[in-house]
Chain A
Amino acid sequence: MRELEKLYNRIVQRVNINLRELDFDVIPFARELIPPDQMTKFYAFYGITPDHPLDLHFKHSALAGSYFLGKCRINNSLLYKSDIRGDELKRKKQVFRYQNFEIPLTTDEVIAIEDSILVKTLVHNFSHDPETAEKFFIKNTLAMDYSNIHGAPSDGCFLGPFATVDLTTMRDCAIGCYSYVQAGEINHLRTAPGTIWVNSPGNFNFLYSYPTEALAHYVSFSPENVPWGVLFDFIEDRKDAFQRVFDFVNLDAIESIPDTASLDRFAVVLPKTRIEDNVLVAQRAYLENSILGKGANAQENCFIINSHLEGLNVTAHGAKIIEANLETGVFVGFNSFLYGKPESKLNIGKGSIIMPHTIIDIDETLEIPADHMVWGLVRNDKELAENSIALEQLVKVETSFSRGKMHFEGRGKLFVKAFKDRIHHILDVNGAFYDGDKNEGHAQRNQNLSLNTIQPFHFGEMEGMYPDIQIQP
């Protein structure tokens, strides 16, 4: 048995041991996860920048097509086309504040991935867990295609395709496909596909459950089949465009990008796209015939097609915006799928919040008014009425309300504030408010980024594995 296969079997067993209490077996889902020949086909790469520590350790791992930035330790793991983005990790001598605790950091925070399989997964942000402030760990975990592990230390977990766990420490959990969880800490939890849960104990609790059959049209997976659905087809149809940017080590720079904006060299930009000041476009983003106004951003695995973002728009990891016009300050959450059509545009008013994992799929023009919050599945005006609320109305909720398949308990004012604060923070760290002097962020700093590649063993017992490597300045 080759080393790659041994490693794969070892990790799958470890994940299963952790999930035995949930009676969840990952083997049927993991069987066809990564064809071994793919593991030699793609090189791995890492960023070098004066703004973040260069401190990478790879040991007994396979890293095909994956990207690393900052301080990362990868041990006994199998990564495939994943982004391990350590540009928001905490730094030595910083003080991490959590409730009434002030925790001084004695070392730079590290992303430590151990005994895990990550497939097309984004790892970003930092550990929000005061018990592990200097180590953002991911161990004994299997994350499937397009999942996001965002500020979420994980031990013994499974994330289905397009699942996101955000600012939450998770242990022994199975997160269903297209589920979004932000709950601080979760243990031994198994969520059904399409569960959207945002919980801040004592403040608010939001829960929406997708209708099972309707969600299956967009994202589905079963032990017998590879994952399928409209979302997979949508990405598959555009796969070739990424081939060119990954095939060439040096691509010609696109000259029309303003000095204050950043376009990653592993993003796809097709005509006629206009990028204005303070815009951030991350790797694996796809832009086509669109305008990104001042301070807008497109994060990893985003698709923005035939759309106009007026400015200060957050397009979070994995969000897709097609045939849409977004006024200023519109937020589109993780993995949302806004699917307008050429004859039926989607128009979203100023300051509206499209919650993470929202699907808007329309055949007639749809107008979302300014300052609204939208969630769940929206295919027409009737579903919009059922799955949205004016922010002005939400801030008045003092105890609870339910609407359609959504439940909310707590104070609406705190829920809105949490979102608004976070949106402002994202724009700030991305450099959207840069004035030529102050408020510099990723959009400006990423200009100082260069990339190096590393290659796997191509032959023999170690085929597909990478040599043990330490990379430091």
Chain B
Amino acid sequence: MASLSLKKHFLRKTVVPFLVAMFVLVMLIWGMGYSLRQSQADSILEYRVNVAGLSFSAYLDRAEFEAKYLAQQVSNDGSLDSLFQLHDVLFFGGLDFFYITLADDEPLEDPRARLYTNDSLSYLARSARLNYWRHISTADGAELLVYKKPLQPNEQSRVQGYLYGFVSLNNNLALSSDLMSGAQVDYMELSSVSGKMLLSDQLPAFDETSRAIEYTGILELPTLEDKLTIKVKMARPFSESLEQNVLINAALVLICLMVLFWIVMHNAYRWMFSPLQHLTNHNHDAKQQANFEEFLPVQQQMNHFEALLKARDQHFHLLLDSLNCAILFCDESARLTAINQESKAVFPDYMIAKTIFDMTPIAFHQPIQRALKGLYDDGFEIELPELGKIYQWHTYSFINEFGFRSVMLVGRDISEVRHLRWQLTNILPRHTIDRPYPDSHIVLNELDILHRSHDEHCISPQYWLLLIGHLLKQISQAAQSASEFETLGEFVMAQQEELAQLAVEGERYGLVDYDISMDAAQVKANWTSDHKVLIQLALVLCMTDSILTRRLTMKWEKSGLLIRIVGVGKVSPAMKWMLQEFPKLVRGHAIIEEGCVTIFTSLSVEAKSETAPLTHTGQRLALIENDFDAAGYCSSALLALGAKVDRFLSFEEFLSSDRALGVEYDAVIVAVGDQHSARKGVERLRSINPDTQVPLFYICERHTNCRDGQIVYAHQLMRYRLAQVINETVSEHKINLRRWLSTSSNWLIVGGSNISQIIWLSELQSQGIVGRREQDLEVLLEGGLAHAALSVVLVLDQASAQRLQPLVVANPQIHWLVLEDFAERPATMTYFNVQGQPPNSELVQQLIQRFDDKKG
């Protein structure tokens, strides 16, 4: 803000009244001079009117004289012609024309009279009087003065006549020029007392409208009878009023006022402004100046502020020194303005340095210059070898009180920090700092829990430990592999595989109820290894309890994947810790409630993938249960896929049942509840299979290391997996038992009791013969044997054999064997004597031998 000079202000303010005073005085003087002149002008004009009167009198005298002379001439001569020889007299005399009346003769008329008036001169002459002038007006507007003079008397002393002399007033340039030049006025007007204008003349330069002083007076001439009113005007232009006196007076007044002004200003400067100026010096040399009353409040305020400033300064310096930082202030030309103790120690040559650049190493210069320009600074680190310290400096730019950009440097001693950090990075692995690392007490708690409640778990403690350890290891390691891009189902399957790899042989898996829709399973997303661990975590959570089946729901939310595990009992400490810590790595969260754990992780999801939906409508699958516990779950899962499932309790049923004969199966699912029977059954199936490939896969509830085909474990029973496995196993080779059985020795056992049938079937099966048993004869009798590619029918008792007689007849190509002989035995039915013994391998071998012979 620009400051005003008090002096100049005072000057301007005082000049104004002085100027006003000057103006007023000059006007006053001028006015006085003007009025003086006005009053003088009147007397001047009066005087001039007198002079005009005198010149008028002189003119009239001249005219009188001419009249007298002419009268004398006429008396001598008596004719007009002689008069007109007197050119000089007539020209210079003053009379304009004359008229002579003679006693006994005709009057003599001056022909010049006609130039003035047409009135009869004798009439006009009648108003003339002897020895003085009179004013007469004619009818045609001529104003005349007339004078009567008697002519010389003749010898008889008789006056011969009279001469009348006429002077024109309104047509006489000589008279008016005489009067005007005598009066020296600009305008003259003579009028009679009645107001009629007689003579009017003015200077050619006289302007009616311009200012003029007027004077009206009465003109009385000694020889004129009538009084005349004379009005004179003198033009008084405005500039005339500025006559010399007025100018001198005005100049004097101006000079006096200027001197006065100068005195006032001088005094003001001396007695007011200089004490004001010395006010600020007062503090330094006290008691030098007198204490003016008016300055006391200002001084008090100044002292107060000074004390305040001192206090602030003290606080500031205390602060600077107590902050454990090296602080430097420098101004816009990089000169040092403030420095604290620590920075004095850092830069010991601060006393000799002129600018900050002189006392700091080169590395400082660039940041300081950038700060001086106002650019943002990130901070820089400098190692000071002589002190053995590392300082981290920040520069802060600010605008100082003068409006220039200044810099503050703040330096912190970070040598210790660096040291520690180095130790941390090099001694402790980095990933432990970066990733959540379980404390030891978590692991101890976990072990403790394991010890206390290991029999509650369905899975073995060994496996459990392996799982926990695997998870913890994965969590604490940094994300190693790049992200993969695959479907949810694939990903989950991969994790399941990985977990399964950790298990030992015979490890029992609990059933997990997967609630993952096929659509959800086919959504592709970008999975990182952290997500892998998360999924594994969820899967492990499902495996903890054996009492309840856990339900694992995976749903795609708008921004990520929601995993819900319902039915969780107590969550082990390690799991709890992992659930708390780990979701942070995957930008999600986990909520542990009573019986339910919800994990959410944000994932970028691809839009619906274009893979063909894995539907299996129309596929026929055979599920061979083999005492598998969750067979119902399996079949419902398979049905949910859209396939048609035929359940068989065991392989015997599968192989011997008519149900299986009629259809072609796309795949056989062997549920391994009982491992042994399953194996056997698969062997048998394989043995009767003409092809090498049998489309089957296993569903096991225990971990098995032998890989005979695809295995789906109990905890892996999700629809997606099943679908994938089915897709993989299904090939062109469908299971067609009829075809298979027809090609080899295919025996049918009928009659007898169930048990004996079964015994015989198993014996045959052990010999490698595929057999079936049929309990109900009626079926056979009604249906015939057309459907079966039988080769041998073994009838166990004679009652059945008798009943089957028609069939025997009907099917001559089939070999009939009967174990009890009866009378009506046809020839095609062969009798084999088992002597009432249960069959054994030797017996069966004999039977087969015999049959082969027979056949052969």
* A and B associate: no
